[in-house]
Structure 1
Amino acid sequence: MIGRDSSVNRTPPPRLLPSVTTPLLTLYSAALVLALAATAPWWLRELRPAGKYREGFAERLGRIPRRRLHAPAAGEVTLWIHAVSVGEVLAAVPLVAALRSALPHARCYVSTTTRTGQQIARARFGADSVFYYPADFAFAVRAWLRFLRPSLVVLVESEFWPRFLIEAARTGVPVAVINARISDRSWPRYQRLAALWRPLLGTLSLVLAQSDRDAQRLRALGAPAASAIGNLKYDLPPPLPTPLLDQLRQAIQAGAPVLVCGSTLAGEEALLLPLLPEHTVTLLAPRHPERFDEVAALLQASGRPWSPLSLWRRDPQPIAPGTLLLLDSVGELAPLYALAQVAIVGGGFLHAGGHNPLEPASLGKPVVIGTGYANFLEIVTTLRAADAIRIAGLPEIQQTIAHLLADPAQAAALGERARAVCAASSGATSRVLSALLPLLQPQPALGTGA
């Protein structure tokens, strides 16, 4: 059971113990350098003009884009919120709004790791306060800490980087982890490196977990008094209609059933496409934009009529049953789930951990996911307990979708149960806000460290 009050344990970050951390940190740093050297050919390829890591590479190495980012004023309260990718960025949206409301004179900066996360963050928070998270080298981390001079660092989910935690502790910056989780897949790896994690997680000022099980695991790894406080992702409001959604609604032939397959990963489209009914309009939205061309080639080879939406929206034409549509843009999927008779959320059909089913669920849509949902265990478990989601492996998905399309009343009831779960499980943002604000009270300096 997740605690619903804001009474959480907070501890100031203790001084690191060099005798404990230095040998392990030396090994970690050496391993990081060796890994970078071993993967140098891959990095060189990705740093080409079309490579996905070229953008923001200098920022990752500690170079501050001063022309774009506004430096905080002297004495200004500064919050650094780190959200790895799209899911974490979206989870942070209500919290950033609440922080800005509670602290109108504070400045919020948001960092991301992925390019798609960066695009969404800049659209939601403004490019002048969004940047790429530094690589876990002392020189890069210190450069950003010097520039931002954060009053508080907030890590969304379990984004633990040893060097970052050490440098933050050495400069006396309180670090809070919110929406924290440790998946079944990650737990054995954390346990094997428990000797490294215990002193590092002991520097954290606040740890707010998604569930009691996550809190237990974090406490076992040395996180001070981790508390279960709920999942921020339930607090995202249902996506609002967009012009593209309105265009598609007008163009899709009346009565044509629509499937929306969102956040699919490499290999999933090729497996799913032959199993989906051909009389539907099917919209495919790959998770990663660098795969748009690959999926376009797959649709071209399918023999079915198809169109990328980037092309279709320039000259909208009627969309007949059997048409395949490719969403080849970033940040537009969530509202398009409103088209679906059935929403299929990818990431779990090849056991890659799954993706968040709450976007279609919040719209009252029946959701089908694969059996590999380890990264969203708490959400899926909650939905399953209310009979508000369908889980199907590849052998069962054809029948599962056919049943939902054949029985609209059953599909609608499934979707309404999912919507009700989203509403009943919301509220974590206000509890997180209440726990974070006391950390912004003046704290004793811990020294600067070297």
Structure 2
Amino acid sequence: MRWWLYNVLFAVAYAVMLPQFLLRMKRRGGYRSRMGDRFGRYPSDVLARLRQMQGAVWIHAVSVGEVYVAGQMMRAMRAREPGLRFVFSTTSSTGWREAEKQVGPADVLVYNPLDFPLCVRRALDAIRPRALILTESEIWPTLIRACHRRGVPLFLVNARVSDRSAPGYRRLRFWFGPVLRMFSSILAQSETDKRRLVDAGADPERIDVTGSFKFDVAVRNPVKEQEVAAFLAHMDCGPARTVLLGGSTWPGEDAALLRIYRRLRPRYPDLRLVLVPRHFEKADAVQAEIERAGFACVRKSKEMPRDPTGGDSRPMGMHHSLLERDPSAPPVILADTTGELMGFYGNAQIVFVGKSLCEHGAQNMIEPCLCGAATVVGPYTENFRPVMSDLLEAGALVQVPNEMALASEIERLAGDAEVRNMLGARGTASVLRRKGVVDRSAVALLNAMPHHA
């Protein structure tokens, strides 16, 4: 009765969301050509490759962060079992594009089947996995039940239960408990996550607290750092300046940083502001915000390539008068390109991590800490609870409750190079000490899987 009810409710929910789902598919162009994957029907060439695979591990991830986690896990497992092959599934076109960078030539990338019994059965018949690995909070009951019935080992890695989800899991323990107890092993991010999973009905004997995979996912990019350093030096934001960076900012946070910058600039003439919005398609709105605050704006996307002959290499759209203006009013840099955030983190002295002041959840604060920047976050960091606990305990970053406190902290760091350098050094050391979770987890998973000849 319980499973019949779930299938009915899932079908109703899917029907309600289908128009929005189709509209998004049309807008993004995403997985329209692979819609059959959702029903367990794969293109003939994909099906042929799946049939040739023996003992492949099925790994599933959705968000970009989860895809990075899955990619790290794949590489760590393959380092210990070189012939290991993976079937990587995701649910969105964004996840697909990122997953394409993570899979190897011997792996197969598919869209996850809808969580209906027939779709799941077709997918399992085609993939015949040695094991199924789900990431973070990806709980698909029908898929989990079908794997369990077939004797396919189930693993949940980097498992977490958010503050928002925990009460619901606990109330629906009668439903989640039997599902969670089907996992062979759960690798949780923190003791809090373990307690919440147990409250939801999971077997405590099958849960190990490993720490967060996110510490391993963060990797510096020296090539990108050098490219960004050249750009910043050209914009008078080189090593002699103090770069304040807003990383992955959300609406409202750019305006807050601009207000703080406008107030501090007269007292700290070497301070420079760089904004890296979370969604680069909103760059026009951020530029308008910059100009309303009274600053000129330089957009990274309009940078002209340097002329190797020594000719004019001004950014597009900028006049000589802007570059030659009084340095007391330097432009604000708007980094509206993709894939360069780590390069900017490696060249910043002070970083504010977005989605933590005006939105809830926070972006990744591990990355600027790794790069040695003095890192500041707002009060809303729910998505990184175990990470924040570790970093705060180590004095690796500073958390502030509101914009006024953020302004005071930025001023403190802008005025004392020794303090910000020490904070940055603690951040780097703290992240490096916590690396290795992925390797240890890879060993644990391989030991728990059936041997494949």
Q: TM-score scaled to structure 2, two decimals?
A: 0.82
Match of 2:444 in 1: 435
1:246 is displaced (CA, Å) by 4.2
Distance 2:194 2:405 in 1: 34
Assess if the C-alpha contact under 8 Å between 2:51 and 2:127 holds in 1.
no
Worse overlay, 313-322 or 252-261: 313-322
Match of 2:211 in 1: 230
Is residue 2:229 matched to residue 1:251?
A: no
Deviation track 1:348-395 (CA, whole Å, cap 9, x = no partner) reads: 223421122111111111111110111111111111112111112223
Distance 1:55 1:252 in 2: 44
Match of 2:314 in 1: 317
Mark the CA change 1:350 to 1:129 in structure 2 (over 3 Å): closer, same or farther: farther
Match of 2:192 in 1: 213
Deviation track 1:152-192 (CA, whole Å, cap 9, x = no partner) reads: 11112121122221222233221101111112222101112
**For structure 1, which runs of at least 5 residues remain unmatched after alignment?**
1-22, 444-450
1:89 is displaced (CA, Å) by 2.4
Assess if the C-alpha contact under 8 Å between 1:150 and 1:173 holds in 2.
yes
Q: Structure 2: which amino acid aligns with 1:274?
A: R
Note the aligned Cα RMSD (angstroms).
3.0
**For structure 2, which runs of at least 5 residues remain unmatched after alignment?**
266-270, 307-312, 316-322
SS in 2 for 1:378: helix
Q: Structure 2: which amino acid aligns with 1:118?
A: W
Match of 2:112 in 1: 133
Given candidates 273, 279, 299, the residue that maps to 1:308 is 299
Worse overlay, 333-342 or 72-81: 72-81
Distance 1:98 1:361 in 2: 24
Mapping 1:128-277, distance limit 5 Å:
129-224=108-203, 225=205, 226-236=207-217, 238-243=219-224, 244-253=227-236, 254=238, 255-277=240-262
Aligned-pair identity in percent equals 33
Mark the CA change 1:52 to 1:30 in structure 2 (over 3 Å): closer, same or farther: same
1:135 is displaced (CA, Å) by 3.4
1:55 is displaced (CA, Å) by 8.0
Distance 2:5 2:39 in 1: 21
Greater RCO, CA 8 A, separation 6+: 1
Mark the CA change 1:296 to 1:157 in structure 2 (over 3 Å): closer, same or farther: same
Distance 1:289 1:126 in 2: 29
Deviation track 1:389-445 (CA, whole Å, cap 9, x = no partner) reads: 1112223212211211111110110111111111222221222122101232259xx
Given candidates 8, 11, 15, the residue that maps to 1:37 is 15
1:194 is displaced (CA, Å) by 1.0
Match of 1:416 in 2: 425
Q: Structure 2: which amino acid aligns with 1:400?
A: E
Match of 1:376 in 2: 384
Distance 2:122 2:295 in 1: 53
Mapping 1:101-140, distance limit 5 Å:
101-126=79-104, 129-140=108-119
Assess if the C-alpha contact under 8 Å between 1:282 and 1:325 holds in 2.
yes
1:82 is displaced (CA, Å) by 1.8
Count, aligned residues = 421
Q: Structure 1: which amino acid aligns with 2:418?
A: A
Q: Structure 1: which amino acid aligns with 2:72?
A: P
Assess if the C-alpha contact under 8 Å between 1:63 and 1:143 holds in 2.
yes
SS in 2 for 1:130: strand
Is residue 2:81 matched to residue 1:92?
A: no
Assess if the C-alpha contact under 8 Å between 1:202 and 1:223 holds in 2.
yes
Mark the CA change 1:299 to 1:37 in structure 2 (over 3 Å): closer, same or farther: farther
Match of 1:397 in 2: 406
Assess if the C-alpha contact under 8 Å between 1:136 and 1:164 holds in 2.
yes
1:84 is displaced (CA, Å) by 2.2
Q: Structure 2: which amino acid aligns with 1:241?
A: P
Assess if the C-alpha contact under 8 Å between 1:76 and 1:106 holds in 2.
no
Distance 2:211 2:350 in 1: 27
Distance 1:95 1:134 in 2: 22
Assess if the C-alpha contact under 8 Å between 2:28 and 2:93 holds in 1.
no
Assess if the C-alpha contact under 8 Å between 1:308 and 1:325 holds in 2.
yes
Distance 1:172 1:342 in 2: 51
Given candidates 364, 367, 389, the residue that maps to 1:356 is 364
Given candidates 346, 351, 374, the residue that maps to 1:343 is 351
Match of 1:16 in 2: none
Distance 1:415 1:44 in 2: 46
Assess if the C-alpha contact under 8 Å between 1:260 and 1:339 holds in 2.
no
Is residue 2:55 matched to residue 1:64?
A: no
SS in 2 for 1:99: helix
Is residue 2:382 matched to residue 1:388?
A: no
Given candidates 82, 86, 102, the residue that maps to 2:60 is 82
SS in 2 for 1:340: coil
SS in 2 for 1:154: strand
SS in 2 for 1:203: coil
Q: Structure 1: which amino acid aligns with 2:8?
A: A
1:58 is displaced (CA, Å) by 5.0
Deviation track 1:332-362 (CA, whole Å, cap 9, x = no partner) reads: 3123211111112112223421122111111
* Max Rg structure: 2
Mark the CA change 1:112 to 1:50 in structure 2 (over 3 Å): closer, same or farther: closer
Assess if the C-alpha contact under 8 Å between 1:240 and 1:335 holds in 2.
yes
Assess if the C-alpha contact under 8 Å between 2:136 and 2:158 holds in 1.
yes
Mark the CA change 1:271 to 1:136 in structure 2 (over 3 Å): closer, same or farther: farther
Assess if the C-alpha contact under 8 Å between 1:87 and 1:356 holds in 2.
no
SS in 1 for 2:26: coil
Distance 1:56 1:332 in 2: 30
Distance 2:229 2:68 in 1: 23
Deviation track 1:260-318 (CA, whole Å, cap 9, x = no partner) reads: 22223344434444334475443333334554555455456555322432322556637
SS in 2 for 1:190: helix
Given candidates 273, 276, 299, the residue that maps to 1:282 is 273
